[in-house]
Amino acid sequence: MEYSGESGVSLRFSLQKAQGARLPLFLFLLADGQADVCAPQHAHGVCVRAPGARLTDTAVCHAVRGLLDQLYEELDADDMRLYLLGANEGADGVWALLSMYPRLFAAAVAAGGWGDPYAVRTVRVTPIWSFFHPGDQPLTPQGGPRGLADGRLMALSLRGQGHEQVRCDAWTEGDPLSRADVQAWLLAQDRRRQLEINCIRPGLWHMEDFFRASCYLVEGPDSALLIDSGMAQVDLPAVVSRLTRLPVKLALTHAHGDHYGNAEGFDPIYMHPLDIESLPYQIERFKRFHPDGASERLDWIHRPLPVRDGDRIDLGGGVSFEVLELPGHTPGSVVFACESLGLMFTGDAMGSGEIVLLYGAREALEAVVSDYRLHLRRFIERVEGMREMTFFGGHRMQDASCALFEQERILSGGVSYYNPLCLQVARDMEALCGEILAGRCLPEESEDALTFKDRRAGIVYRLGAL
């Protein structure tokens, strides 16, 4: 079979379909002349070649990404268990594709081959098993900007960036791609259990899960505050305990599962009373639409302490977070602001750089937008009276786009659009509400949503219940 990418690159691929629901997908990158490799039982497999082109070419990598989108439309496959494999020239492609799409794969195997040890530093959490030929030596092309690295140096480069899940072994016999232990190791990996952690500055951590939901840990003098908890399938209290020795309080920006999913194990927990009231409904709704991220640990829902506009969460030593109400995305959406640290955590209250998501019936559009505009005005007035603040949203990668394809590009430096949250986004959002109410901004309509955009602001009005 053939697939033609947008850039005109043609791929040849063979597809091995398995019977079952939500099965993993093995992607084998192969050079011309390499025999097909079989995926294990109860998994789909696709073998991909790029005749007349190198698997490391940017256009080829983009075409492979496009092919995957097509396959996921055709197969009942689990996109959280996508595995990337290649040997020799195929391994060259593995390193290139990983570097370009560092959060796309649940795990990868590169046997032999060469890669760029600088470009691969974008890969932070994807488990990798690298095999090297014992006789290989690093290559330094004459006149080239930097040398290529074998599997050993690629592994060292990853570990040097803090990557903790890199295996590296000599390739002495057999085909690693077909080994039962290698395939079993791959099948044990799942993006739902991967959490990327970055230190923004001393005392401020950003964590991001498979759903691109962001949570933040801020240390104060006497205690720390965790803003939202994401929904990665991890023991989040244990993860947080590695980052700080201080007692941790949890502040939830709103009652959506991608923000409260790992709340169990924290105490105290703070949330606006209107969203506390909606928790039972929101939990059942989230189970229906996102079974992958729905937590069974729900004892915490009876413990949240209500916080309202103007309340403060004290971290000691004069450091506290003020609660600012900004409903719209949910009735009880709030922002947590610490003026002494210059930090503001907005959850989904004003979107995350591309759009804010509002909900309601078509006939309620004017009322919903009018209410949101009023709350934005009050919020802007409050923030204008503060020192300059740095904004952090509930889905930090959406500064670039809501599309996962574009979010991958931001990690590898190829993004074409970037709109970080700031006070001007809130001002433009308030102005957009005015344009909608005046009938001067008309929506793009889909079956279930109306999309409005102007300047740095965007609103997606989802037709239905919150």
CATH of the domain at 166: 3.40.50.1820
pLDDT at residue number 6: 77
201 shares a domain with 161: no
CATH number at residue 423: 3.60.15.10
User: Tokens 């993993």 belong to which residue?
Assistant: 24
Is 0.85 surpassed by the pTM of this model? yes
- How many whole angstroms separate alpha carbon 93 and alpha carbon 344? 41
pLDDT at residue number 10: 94
Instruction: Indicate the residue among 192, 212, 243 that finishes a domain.
Output: 192
230 shares a domain with 93: no
- How many whole angstroms separate alpha carbon 247 and alpha carbon 221? 11
Please give the tally of structural domains in the chain: 2
- How many whole angstroms separate alpha carbon 320 and alpha carbon 202? 17
398 shares a domain with 316: yes
Contact 334, 379 (CB under 8 A): no
137 shares a domain with 212: no
Instruction: Indicate the residue among 192, 218, 246 that finishes a domain.
Output: 192
- How many whole angstroms separate alpha carbon 387 and alpha carbon 116? 43
pLDDT at residue number 430: 98
Contact 307, 335 (CB under 8 A): no
> Prior bond to 268 cis, omega within 30?
yes
Contacts of 237 (CB under 8 A, 6+ apart): 248, 265, 266
Strands (E), 105-164: 107-111, 128-132
Which strands make up the sheet holding 444-445, listed edge to edge?
Answer: 356-360, 457-463, 449-454, 444-445
423 shares a domain with 349: yes
- How many whole angstroms separate alpha carbon 416 and alpha carbon 425? 18
**3-state percent breakdown (helix, strand, coil) of the chain, nearest 5:** 30, 30, 40
185 shares a domain with 199: no
pLDDT at residue number 412: 57
224-227 vs 248-251, strand pairing mode? parallel
317 shares a domain with 203: yes
Q: Which residue range(s) make up the domain with 296? A: 195-463
428 shares a domain with 307: yes
Token pair for residue 280?
């039972």
163 shares a domain with 222: no
324 shares a domain with 375: yes
368 shares a domain with 247: yes
Provide the residue-wise pLDDT of the chain in tens; the chain has 466 residues. 999 977 789 999 999 999 999 999 999 999 998 999 999 989 999 999 999 999 999 999 999 999 999 999 999 999 999 999 999 999 999 999 999 999 999 999 999 999 999 999 999 999 999 999 988 776 555 554 556 788 999 999 999 999 999 999 999 988 999 999 999 999 999 999 999 999 999 999 999 998 789 999 999 999 999 999 999 999 999 999 999 999 999 999 999 999 999 999 999 999 999 999 999 988 888 888 777 655 566 778 788 999 999 999 999 999 999 999 999 999 999 999 999 999 999 999 998 777 999 999 999 999 999 999 999 999 999 999 999 999 999 998 765 555 555 556 556 556 666 778 999 999 999 999 999 999 999 999 999 999 999 988 999 999 987 6
pLDDT at residue number 292: 64
Instruction: Indicate the residue among 192, 211, 227 that finishes a domain.
Output: 192
User: Tokens 């433009």 belong to which residue?
Assistant: 428
92 shares a domain with 41: yes
